[in-house]
Structures are given as structure tokens and as C-alpha cells.
Amino acid sequence: MDTPLSSISLHDMFYGAVVWDPWLIVAQIVCLQCLYYLTLGVFLSFLVGIRVSRMSLVYFFDFASVTTSTVTGWCVIASFLLSSIAGAGYMLYLIERAKKCLDFSATLYIIHLFICIMYGGWPSSITWWVVNGTGVAVMALLDV
């Protein structure tokens, strides 16, 4: 039996019924995290790889590499910020709802914080916090 058209809300017509699907959310988080690190790796390879003799995970996860005192540090900062802009583009296709963008971008950076803590300890650099806070804001606000 068909539901009467008057019982379907305008929201459901354009977005479909909101269904709690935890597997979809986990898959979106994993996919977004992988795309973010892949993009970060590409930017680090181009911007930092030409300046250092050997690339390593230090540039991904060690807070000491995010510094304004060296040109390489500025290249790391640029890589993180460019990756957050790319992450905003990924969220347009993966998440498809501006309402959830802050949640997903914050989740990405919280996971990144945990990985950084496991890799090099608690980030004590104010520059690291400013760069990652700016990254969350850029990623969330470019999708609104």
C-alpha cells in the first residue's frame, strides 16, 4: 500500500529517510581518513620530499616537524592545509550532507591526534595545534 503524498516530508523527498547505519558511518570515516593521508602524502612528497634526503612518517605524525622556524616546516604546514582543502572536497562526495561535515572533520583530526600521540607523544607545539585547528575549520567550513 502506498503512503499518501501528504505524509512524506519535504526533507525525505530530497534526502531520503534518515536511517542510522553505523557500518556506513565507519566506512565513510575509514575512507575519508585514507584519502586524507594519501593526499597528505602526495603534498608532502612534492613540497617536503624535494627538500629532505629521506621521507619518513615523522612528517606525518611528529609534532616537531610542524614548525615555522624552517622552510621545510613551512612546507609541512602547507601540506597539511592543502590536504584539509582536499578533504573538504572528499567530504562533498563521501558524506553529501553539510550538516555532518563538522562531525566527520573533527573525527578525522581526533583520530590524527591519537595517532600522533602514539607516534611521538602529546603534541606540545602551539604551531601543531594552530595548524590542525585551522585544518578542522577549513575542512568543515568549506563544505557548508
Q: What integer pLDDT is reported at residue 16 of this predicted model?
A: 54
Neighbours of 73 (CB within 10 A): 18
Is residue 98 a part of any domain in this protein?
yes
- Using CA atoms, how far residue 97 sits from 32, 102, 144, in Å, is 14, 10, 9
pLDDT over 50 (residue 13): no
User: Nearest CA to 44 among 75, 74, 21?
Assistant: 75
Is residue 71 a part of any domain in this protein?
yes
Per-residue pLDDT band at 12 (split at 50, 70, 90): low
Is residue 68 a part of any domain in this protein?
yes
Burial of 48 (0-12, 13-18, 19+ CB in 10 A): buried
* Opening angle at CA 143, ends 40 and 28, nearest 5: 60
Q: Per the structure, how many domains does the chain have? A: 1
Is residue 31 a part of any domain in this protein?
yes
* Residue numbers of the domain that contains 71: 22-143
pLDDT tens digits along 50-94: 999 999 999 999 999 999 999 999 999 999 999 999 999 999 989
Give the single-character DSSP code of 3.
Answer: P
Q: What integer pLDDT is reported at residue 32 of this predicted model?
A: 96
Least confident of 14-28, 38-52, 123-137: 14-28
Is residue 79 a part of any domain in this protein?
yes
More confident residue, 19 or 131: 131
Q: How far apart are CA 130 and CA 80, in angstroms?
A: 11
Average pLDDT across the chain, whole number: 89
Q: What integer pLDDT is reported at residue 143 of this predicted model?
A: 77
Q: What percent of the chain has pLDDT over 70?
A: 87
Is residue 16 a part of any domain in this protein?
no
Is residue 5 a part of any domain in this protein?
no
The whole-number average pLDDT for the span 112-133 is 97
Is residue 7 a part of any domain in this protein?
no
The whole-number average pLDDT for the span 37-57 is 96
